[in-house]
């Protein structure tokens, strides 16, 4: 059966069916998936519950996986995964709302792209829904390719060569989260070009989101105004999509041409376990 690629909105996101992504994918099949990713930025697969090994195998088709923390505040620390979850990884017990690990996850509710604060930015993330609460806990997406496209020619030229400083400590501080010195080690601010070009389609986007602290060399107010304007363009209603998860859903999202955010759920009464692999763009020269 050929893969069916069905656009979800007129702007971005597609549902893919007719492929079992838990089986080894031949070159032709993966090429179709990769082309859909380059075109639609967000790929949704349903009814494909994955094991950890299957998630790694599928994710590695997109490129090398980023390393993960051996210890720390993400509930996935010590595994190859980042976890968005209120469940303790060893005991399986619900983590209390006032625990640091839950507080840390609050920053996911601000529009962001994963790992823009790393020296090599991420190409994409793969998030698998393992346990889904009966309501709440949706994830929202917005297209920063659409944000770029909405600019006038003059504005596009003005931002073409801008460099952005991304800072993980800055973004977490916005929700009042303070890191220990140990946690901040290796998290120095990094600089990346604002405008990104998709190699396959030639389409441009802006890599923004909550980790984007400032435009290098600009006064703070102008810098903030530009970043806010670009985010406002990306998150215009017509450029967004909200995904209500079902267990077994798998979503691949672009971290250079889209932003995303988590939404609330009842963490005291319901369980949620989402497991993420993050694929590096693996190309410092292009960063």
Of residues 127, 190, 214, 250, which one binds ligand OGA by CB under 6 A? 127
- The label of the residue with tokens 């998709």 reads 198
Give the CA-trace dihedral at 248, 145, 140, 191, to 10 degrees. 100
List b or e across 37-59, with b for residues whose CB sees 16 or more CB atoms inside 10 angstroms. bbbbbbbbbeebebeeebbebbb
Segment lying near Mn ion (by CB under 5 A), choices 1-9, 107-115, 146-154, 265-273 = 107-115
Q: How does DSSP assign 244-259, residue by residue?
A: ---TT-EEEEESSSEE
| Residue 204 interacting entry, from Mn ion, ligand OGA, none, C-beta within 5 to 8 Å by type | none
Of residues 276, 277, 279, 287, which one binds ligand OGA by CB under 6 A? 276
Q: Which residues contact 62 (CB under 8 A, 6 or more apart)?
A: 34, 37, 123, 124, 126, 252, 279
What track of x and - describes contact with ligand OGA for positions 241 through 260 (by CB under 6 A)? Answer: -------------------x
| Binding flag, residue 107, ligand OGA (CB under 6 A) | no
| Binding flag, residue 114, ligand OGA (CB under 6 A) | yes
Distances (CA, A) of 13 to 193, 243, 250, 257: 24, 10, 13, 12
| Binding flag, residue 254, Mn ion (CB under 5 A) | no
First to last CA, the chain: 38
| Binding flag, residue 65, ligand OGA (CB under 6 A) | no
- The label of the residue with tokens 């998030």 reads 127
Range 161-220, binding ligand OGA (CB under 6 A)? none
Q: How far apart are CA 280 and CA 248, in angstroms?
A: 24
Q: Which is nearer to Mn ion, 29 or 143 (CB)?
A: 143
| Residue of 206, 200, 201, 221 whose CA lies nearest to 166 | 206
| Binding flag, residue 114, Mn ion (CB under 5 A) | yes
- Collapse the DSSP code of 262 into the 3-class scheme (helix H, G, I; strand E, B; otherwise coil) and give the result: strand
Of residues 55, 84, 116, 277, which one binds ligand OGA by CB under 6 A? 84
Binding residues for ligand OGA, how many (CB under 6 A)?
A: 11
Closest distance to ligand OGA from the beta carbon of 97 (Å): 16
Q: How far apart are CA 249 and CA 125, in angstroms?
A: 14
Closest distance to ligand OGA from the beta carbon of 230 (Å): 19
Q: Which is nearer to ligand OGA, 14 or 126 (CB)?
A: 126
- Collapse the DSSP code of 224 into the 3-class scheme (helix H, G, I; strand E, B; otherwise coil) and give the result: helix
Closest distance to ligand OGA from the beta carbon of 114 (Å): 5
Q: Which is nearer to ligand OGA, 114 or 167 (CB)?
A: 114
Of residues 108, 116, 128, 280, which one binds ligand OGA by CB under 6 A? 108
Q: Which residues bind Mn ion (CB under 5 A)?
A: 114
Q: Which residues bind ligand OGA (CB under 6 A)?
A: 82, 84, 108, 114, 125, 127, 139, 260, 262, 274, 276
């Amino acid at each position: 059966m050929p893969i069916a690629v069905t656009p979800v909105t007129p702007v971005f996101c597609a549902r893919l069916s007719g492929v079992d992504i838990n089986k080894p994918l031949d070159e032709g099949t993966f090429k179709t998936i990769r082309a859909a990713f380059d075109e639609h930025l967000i790929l949704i697969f349903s009814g494909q519950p994955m094991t950890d090994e299957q998630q790694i195998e599928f994710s590695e088709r997109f490129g090398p996986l980023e390393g993960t923390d051996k210890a720390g505040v993400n509930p996935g620390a010590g595994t190859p995964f980042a976890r968005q979850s209120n469940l303790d990884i060893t005991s399986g017990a619900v983590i209390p709302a006032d625990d640091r690990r839950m507080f840390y996850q609050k920053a996911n509710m601000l529009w962001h792209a994963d790992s823009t604060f790393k020296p090599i930015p991420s190409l994409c993330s793969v998030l698998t829904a393992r346990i889904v609460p009966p309501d709440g806990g949706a994830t929202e997406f917005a297209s920063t390719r659409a944000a770029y496209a909405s600019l006038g020619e003059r504005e596009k030229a003005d931002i073409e060569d801008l460099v952005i400083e991304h800072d993980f400590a800055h973004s977490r501080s916005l929700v009042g989260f303070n890191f220990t010195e140990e946690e901040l080690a290796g998290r120095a601010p990094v600089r990346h070009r604002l405008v990104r070009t998709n190699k396959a389609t030639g389409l441009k986007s802006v890599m923004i989101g909550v980790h984007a602290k400032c435009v290098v060399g600009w006064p703070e107010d102008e810098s903030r105004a530009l970043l806010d304007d670009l985010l406002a363009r990306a998150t215009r209603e017509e450029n967004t999509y909200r995904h209500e998860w079902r267990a077994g859903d798998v979503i691949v999202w672009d971290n250079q041409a889209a932003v995303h955010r988590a939404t609330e759920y009842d963490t005291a009464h319901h369980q949620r376990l989402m497991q993420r692999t993050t694929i590096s763009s693996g190309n410092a020269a292009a960063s």
